[in-house]
Amino acid sequence: MAATTYLITVSGPDRPGIAASLFAAVSPERYPDIVISDIAQITIRGYLVLCVEVTMNSATPPEVVCTAIQQAGVSGDGVNVTVNSVEPEAFLNGKRLLLTILAPEVTTTALHQVFAAMAACGATCERIVHLASYPVDCYELVVRGPNHATLRETLTQAARLAGLDVAVQRAGLHRRSKHLVVMDADSTLLRDEVIDMIAESAGCADQVSEITASAMAGEIDFSESLRRRVRLLEGLDVSVLEDVRAKLRLTPGARTLIRTLQRLGYVPAVVSGGFVEILEPLMKELGVEYLAANRLAVRDGRLTGELDGEIVDREGKAHALARFAGEIGVPLQQTVAIGDGANDIDMLSLAGLGIAFNAKPVVRDHADTALNVPYLDAALYFLGISREEIEADL
């Protein structure tokens, strides 16, 4: 006899004992051939929706199963029970994907655009989890669709039009296994461009700032731009570097991001085109052990206008990410990179998940996803970490 699959749905005001009564009603003692194939439950504001998919070889009518469940005390007090025979749908053969969307406010209009794009790809949503309501609104959706690449492209375009940040990732435990998170420093971990701050003391702020902007936009080679800017600092007393360190401002959410990563077993790292002399004391304060940055050449207590050692440029950042991953023993697919400038592109492309943080268009085009909110800890949502988990450490 062909197996029959039923979907049992219990909905209504939640109370203790509903699930216990349900599973007692469909126990093997009553139905010896019953097999549970799936369970899902959500409770919102005290309202329960519990779904159980069961398979039986006997052709027991759905209404008989429903009556047995009702008689077990599941229904009543506003709780309803339905039992329906179900058939597998064609789309269930598609891959499961994780879709994360966030914005200062996720509106119904934006959700309409996302779900319409999903439907256009022949995809459907299996589950929605509200990861955060502040300082941004964030939802994680489990989506089934036949074509990952098409779905990613379509949803990304729809999300941008809707004013949302979006990430589409393959579902599975591997996402929670991204153990290395590498961040750029200037304008990512930090609110400022450090070399611009040094330049203010050297009286060449406008010249340096102009070169910085061109480099971050990808208009000139980063290595050459860095050499030009450092040259303008020749003769500056090294005591200025201590003054700059005292003025550093972390991006909102930076401490929370690092603290949460460390608590959950991730390894944070910083790879920067900036300077070791500025960043190293801050990294010690934050407990970040892995740092790759440039080093300023000094003679007789003054900057020489040159760099000491190899330059950490666009290619150097990617090499540093790969080196750190090798030292920690993490596959590249299990790494995350966060950056804002053109010199971060190789690093973002190499990582398992590349996040463009308030970045230029050329950077967003090369990243897996983009964050356009001012809170760095919002990157945690793309790892499936909820606000509740983040605040457990506060």
Render pLDDT for 352-374 as a digit per residue (tens, 0 to 9): 999 999 998 889 989 999 999 99
Q: Tokens 């080196």 map to which residue?
A: 323
Cα 72-73-79 angle, rounded to 5 deg: 130
Domain edges within the chain? 4-85, 90-171, 180-391
Please enumerate, as own/partner, the contacts of 247-252 that have beta carbons within 8 Å and a separation of 24 or more.
Answer: 247/192, 247/197, 248/190, 248/192, 248/194, 248/278, 248/282, 249/190, 249/191, 249/192, 250/189, 250/190, 250/191, 251/188, 251/189, 251/190, 251/191, 251/374, 251/375, 251/376, 252/374, 252/375, 252/376
- What mean pLDDT do residues 317-324 have? 98
The CATH class of the 180-391 domain is alpha beta
Domain 4-85 has CATH 1.10.3720.10: no
Q: Per-residue pLDDT averaged across 42-71, rounded?
A: 88
Q: Residue 249 corresponds to which amino acid?
A: R
Annotated catalytic residue, options 186, 313, 340, 368: 186
Q: Do 90-171 and 180-391 agree at the fold level? A: no
Q: CA 168, CA 31: separation in Å to the nearest integer?
A: 41
Locus of tokens 């570097």: 241
Residue 344 is among the residues annotated as catalytic for this protein: no
**Entry field: residues in the chain:** 394
> In this structure, what token pair is assigned to residue 116?
């319409």
| Cα distance between residue 217 and residue 202, in whole Å | 24
Contact 274, 320 (CB under 8 A): no
Candidate list 14, 137, 165, 184, residue with the active-site label: 184
The percent of residues in the chain predicted with pLDDT above 90, rounded, is 68
What values do phi and psi take at 138, rounded to 5? -140, 135
pLDDT at 294 exceeding the cut of 80 = yes
Quickly list H helices, 104-204: 108-120, 148-161, 194-202
- Residue 184 is a catalytic residue: yes
Rounded CA separation 110/101 (Å)? 10
Q: Is the dihedral of CA 197, 198, 201, 204 positive or negative?
A: negative
What number is the average pLDDT over the span 161-185? Answer: 85
Half-sphere exposure of 30 (CA within 13 A, CB side): 15
What integer is the mean pLDDT of 5-33?
A: 91
Rounded Cα distance, 86 and 100, in Å = 29
- CATH number for 90-171: choose from 3.40.50.620, 3.90.1170.50, 3.30.479.10, 3.30.70.260: 3.30.70.260
Q: Is residue 180 predicted with pLDDT exceeding 60?
A: yes
What H or E segment, with its residue span, contains residue 260? helix 254-263
d(CA 215, CA 41) in angstroms, rounded, equals: 51
Whether pLDDT at 394 is above 60: no
Angstrom distance (rounded) from CA 216 to CA 161: 25
